Amino acid sequence: MKLKQLLKLVFINITQNKVRTFLTTLGVIVGTATIFMVVAIGAGGEARVNEQYAKLNVGTIIVMPAARGKVADPLTKKDALLFQESENVARAFPLLRGNGSITYDNFSTNAGFQAIQPGFQDSNHLTVQQGRALVEDDEKKKNKYAVVGAELANTLTDGNPSGIVGRSISINSRKFEVVGVYNPVGDSGTGMSYDDSAFIPYTVGEKYLLGTRANPTIIVQATGLETVQSAIEDITNILNETHRAGGAEQFRILDAGSRLVAAQESARTMSLLLLAVAAVVLIVSGIGIMNVMFVTVKERTREIGTLKAIGAKKREILGQFLIEAVVISLVGGVLGVIIGFAAVPLLKYFELPALPSISGILLGLVFSVITGVFFGFYPAWKAAELNPIDALRYE
CB contact burial 282-308 (16+ within 10 A = b; e otherwise): beebbebbbebbeebbeebbeebbebb
- Strand 107-116 and strand 197-201: the pairing is parallel
In whole angstroms, how close is the CB of 325 to another protein at the nearest point?
A: 17
In whole angstroms, how close is the CB of 7 to another protein at the nearest point?
A: 12
Cβ(322)–Cβ(377) below 8 Å? yes
- Say which amino acid occupies 45: G
Residue 385: CB atoms within 10 Å:
10
| CA 379/CA 113 separation, integer angstroms | 69
Q: Which residue, 36, 85, 37, 83, is CA-closest to 60? A: 83
In whole angstroms, how close is the CB of 1 to another protein at the nearest point?
A: 5
Among the candidate windows 74-82, 172-180, 211-219, 306-314, which touches another protein by CB under 8 A? 306-314
Within residues 372-391, the interface with another protein by CB under 8 A covers: 388-389
In whole angstroms, how close is the CB of 390 to another protein at the nearest point?
A: 10
Cβ(199)–Cβ(124) below 8 Å? no
In whole angstroms, how close is the CB of 380 to another protein at the nearest point?
A: 16
Helices (H), 72-147: 77-84, 119-123, 136-141
Within residues 6-45, the interface with another protein by CB under 8 A covers: 12-13, 16
Q: Give the alpha-carbon dihedral of 98, 103, 109, 110, to 10 degrees.
A: 10
**Site for another protein (CB under 8 A): which residue of 5, 99, 109, 240?**
5
In whole angstroms, how close is the CB of 322 to another protein at the nearest point?
A: 17
**Site for another protein (CB under 8 A): which residue of 314, 348, 362, 366?**
314
**Site for another protein (CB under 8 A): which residue of 39, 134, 308, 383?**
308
Among the candidate windows 193-201, 267-275, 311-319, 333-341, which touches another protein by CB under 8 A? 311-319
**Site for another protein (CB under 8 A): which residue of 313, 346, 362, 366?**
313
Number of residues that make up the chain: 395
Backbone angles phi and psi of 164, in degrees to 5: -75, -30
Q: Which residue, 95, 92, 202, is CA-closest to 141? A: 202
Q: Which residue, 238, 198, 252, 263, is CA-closest to 54? A: 263
Does 2 engage in binding with another protein (CB under 8 A)? yes
Within residues 315-344, the interface with another protein by CB under 8 A covers: 316
Helices (H), 300-357: 301-309, 314-349
Does 295 engage in binding with another protein (CB under 8 A)? no
**Site for another protein (CB under 8 A): which residue of 42, 288, 305, 372?**
305
In whole angstroms, how close is the CB of 314 to another protein at the nearest point?
A: 6
Please name the residues in contact with 106: beta carbons below 8 A apart, sequence gap of 6 or more: none
Identify any residues that bridge with 177 across adjacent strands, giving them in sequence order: 145, 168
Does 70 engage in binding with another protein (CB under 8 A)? no
Would you call 218 helix, strand, or coil by DSSP?
strand
Nearer to another protein, 4 or 68 (CB): 4
Site string for another protein, 125-164 (x = CB under 8 A): ----------------------------------------
Nearer to another protein, 121 or 296 (CB): 296
**Site for another protein (CB under 8 A): which residue of 261, 309, 342, 362?**
309
Among the candidate windows 161-169, 271-279, 302-310, 334-342, which touches another protein by CB under 8 A? 302-310
Which positions lie near another protein, rule CB under 8 A?
Answer: 1-2, 4-5, 12-13, 16, 302-303, 305-314, 316, 388-389, 392
